[in-house]
């Protein structure tokens, strides 16, 4: 017996349309800190994903270093990355998705990472 969907012909759009685009609070310390973080060592697709997260305040920066999948050391200091800068450049892969594609934003070790803000 096959299941037949009753709403197969219904294709309506959203009930409401946004009248204006989302605008984050640009004067907050957290937003300024997140916007100052560089996006390095990612492919085009992953870079766009991280930029979207920053734009719509979905980006959550790391508070403590994360463990690298390649070398098992706690050296990953950037959110949404799973490889440290050293492993990503050695393997020539994206630090987020580990795909062998062209890296749009190269890793620049000389750029200092801004210090995290404190809410107190």
Beta-carbon count within 10 A of 111 CB:
9
- In this prediction, residue 4 carries a pLDDT of 61
CB 62 within 8 A of CB 34: no
Phi, psi (degrees; rounded to nearest 5) at 52 = -65, -45
- In this prediction, residue 33 carries a pLDDT of 92
Helices (H), the chain: 29-36, 44-55, 85-91
CB 34 within 8 A of CB 97: no
Blockwise average pLDDT, block size 10, the chain, 120 residues: 63 83 86 92 94 93 94 94 94 93 71 58
Supply the pTM of this predicted model: 0.73
- In this prediction, residue 17 carries a pLDDT of 86
- In this prediction, residue 118 carries a pLDDT of 61
- In this prediction, residue 38 carries a pLDDT of 92
Q: Round to whole Å and give the CA distance between 28 and 102.
A: 35
- Per domain, the residue ranges of the chain are 29-104
């Amino acid at each position: 017996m096959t299941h037949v969907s009753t709403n197969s012909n219904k294709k309506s759009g959203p009930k409401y349309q946004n009248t204006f685009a989302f605008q984050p609070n640009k004067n907050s310390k957290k937003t300024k800190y997140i916007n100052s973080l560089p996006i390095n060592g990612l492919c085009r697709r992953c870079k766009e994903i991280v930029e979207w997260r920053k734009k719509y305040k979905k980006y959550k920066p790391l508070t403590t270093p994360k463990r690298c999948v390649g070398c098992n050391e706690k050296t990953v200091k950037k959110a949404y990355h799973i490889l440290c800068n050293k492993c990503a450049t050695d393997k020539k892969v994206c630090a987020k998705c580990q795909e062998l594609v062209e890296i749009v934003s190269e890793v620049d070790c000389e750029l200092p990472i801004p210090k995290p803000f404190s809410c107190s």
